[in-house]
Amino acid sequence: MRTPRTPAALITVAALAAFSLTTAPTVAAPHEPAGHEYGSPEDLGPLIESVAALDTAYGSEDGRPVMYTTTNGSPALFQVLDLASNELLRSFPLPGTSSSWSHTVDANGDVVVASSGKLFRYTPGAAEIVDLGAVPGAVALYGTSSDAEGNLYVGTYPDGRVVRVDAETGEYRDYGTVQAGQDYVRALDVHDGTIYAGTGTVGSLWAIDVETGEKTEIPFPERPEYEVDALPQIYGMNRVGDLLFLHVSRANLLMAYDTAAGEWSDTVVPGYRGLFTSPEHEGETWLVADGRVQAFDLATHEVRDTGIRFGTYLRHSAWVDVSAENPDLPGVSLVTVQYGGMATFINPATSTVVTRPTAVAGQPVSLQGLETGPDGAIYASAYMGTAGARFDPGTGDTVNFPLGQAEGMTPDGDSMLFGLYPGAGIEALDTTTTDTSPDPVPVHDIGADQDRPFAMTSGDGYAFVGTVPTYGALDGALSIRDPLGTWATYPGIVDDQSVIGVAYADGVVYGSTSVWGGLGAEPTQSEAHVFAVDVTTGEKLLDVVPDLPGDIQPKAIGSLSMGPDGLLWGAAWGTIFAMDPHTLEVVKSREIFSTDWSFSHLWRPVYLEWAHGMLYTTLGSTLTVVDPETLEHQTLVERAALMTVGADGHLYYGAGTNLMRIQVTPAGTGVVRPARPERPEHPLGFDRPDQPARPDRP
């Protein structure tokens, strides 16, 4: 087992869904558990409505400066904001989409929106937005740019292509994958007959001839801040004059390439907080680094500190004059949008930052995590959202509170712990608070190149987190917080695998893995593992590949759960199994839903919940009840990736943006959730009568 690493800097990367089921699983012959009654699904409505804006463009309508942005939701919502009055002028749903990473204004002044895998066109002042349809083969669209003729160029995921849309005919020209093996073209600009494309997850910069399609790589200079052969993703790119400014993610660098001279600038800005630099203003482009606004001289390439503090990302921006209606913003101001949809102005005359209240509308957003809290409430997080939810099953009341994209969550005493993407930050919410608008507080950043904390559990004052690494990396990690609040992180506890399942019993934490690491990293391993670790020493006690029925070679195992029968239960997509925790030998198993493992990646754990003497699970991405004695099963809902058993004994699951409920009447009983089972004796068969006050770790 590797030595714990110290936390690394947080990494800001695109949020992606953990897994999308595209085909229904094949179901084994049903063997239904008898006795319990399950009601029909009840739709309790959307849980979380939030405002999350990733990008903007700017223009003028009726002589007034406006901001164009798209907020996340189901569907995403394109919105037009009057910047002087902070008034929402109009909004349009974008069918079949959930978010937008890029907007561009073409040569005609129209706004082209790249949303999910589709394109839309908005003419300023129009009463509608035009759906241009999906870009063939694209799941998501990122960087966009327009040439002098109004032709549109767009970068794609997952095959890292550049596509042109002809302004007159609407026909597509596919320039193909820019660099073999790279899934992303997030950064793109077209200038003087050349398309400049930045790739990921391993970064490179390419020049593509617009007419011939010929691709030429532009080598990066040797620098101490990075390794040229393993340059992180080119996450964003904008051009000011002849200078291309590139945001190099993970390294958090801003680099500049002179397209006229064909050479790199010697100036590299560390601590860069992209995503883009500003348009030209008095011979400079403004940017954010180390929490301050900096000005880059376009002639000398010198960087000066403006003295203005700015603690978040500078997204696309514009210089506007709104002083007539906003005397606190004299002259011109640099306007951008914050992730929460607020228009923010940076004013050079006063050296101040002014943020207006959010005026754009929120949308219901898809649920990303679901768990019953220690207070009996149900907690939820949102995909690419800015809010979480607390739902009271007794009253039906829902409270939203600030929360990023929490991949996993777990009760921890009287608190809820949330594991956030990106950067694997951990936040805690006190569930005993009487505050009507609770606010989680950051308690730890895992770092160590970890990104997605899907697997979480707690017990005996400990907390455990299993993580998926960042883009391009394979080593996930197990993190342990001891009862005194000290964290230790063990990256690569299973070589080149993510940790997507954790369970705990009496001083031993069990983990399970996925062969898939961060996006853009090809798996090197063929089978997932289950392992056991002594929580006081960090020693790995056992590590096996479970022997599953039918010679199944599991590529992802998660979650894990200690059952009331003293067995360690696990799931490998559609196969349920139980292990002897002393040896990690499989003692019972059944393949209920078949799988060929033909996934691009699989991170999200299968939920395993105990109630009414049954095991409730999202096995095979269905809501299924399994009799732990006989392994007879009954499918309750065909599509369900999120679920929890409420304190009232009913089943709750996510369906897109909405919370659903199935009422359960256990055989011969009222609807009451049983108490958690007593823990079995120490599963590895050794006594631990005296826990040290402060566990020692290597």
What would the DSSP string read from start to end of 522-580?
----SS--EEEEETTT--EEEEE----GGG---SB---EEE-TTSPEEEEETTEEEEEE
Rounded distance, CA 503 to CA 511, Å? 7
Q: How far apart are the first and last CA of the chain?
A: 10
Contact 347, 330 (CB under 8 A): yes
- Coil, strand, or helix at residue 309? strand
Rounded distance, CA 662 to CA 652, Å? 6
Q: What is the number of other CB atoms lying within 10 angstroms of the CB of residue 20?
A: 12
- Do the strands 540-544 and 530-534 form a parallel or antiparallel pair, or are they unpaired? antiparallel
Q: pTM higher than 0.85 for the full model?
A: no
Q: What is the pLDDT of residue 311?
A: 87
* Side-chain half-sphere CA neighbours of 413 within 13 A: 11
- Length of the chain in residues, anyone? 698
Q: What is the pLDDT of residue 540?
A: 97
Residues of the chain with pLDDT under 70: 1-34, 668-698
Q: What is the pLDDT of residue 669?
A: 53
Q: What is the pLDDT of residue 251?
A: 85
DSSP state at residue 256: E
> Where does residue 485 rank: exposed (0-12), middle (13-18), buried (19+ CB within 10 A)?
exposed
**pLDDT tens for each residue of 455-486:** 999 999 999 999 999 988 999 999 999 999 99
Which residues face 450 on adjacent strands? 469
Q: What is the pLDDT of residue 18?
A: 36
Which residues face 217 on adjacent strands? 206
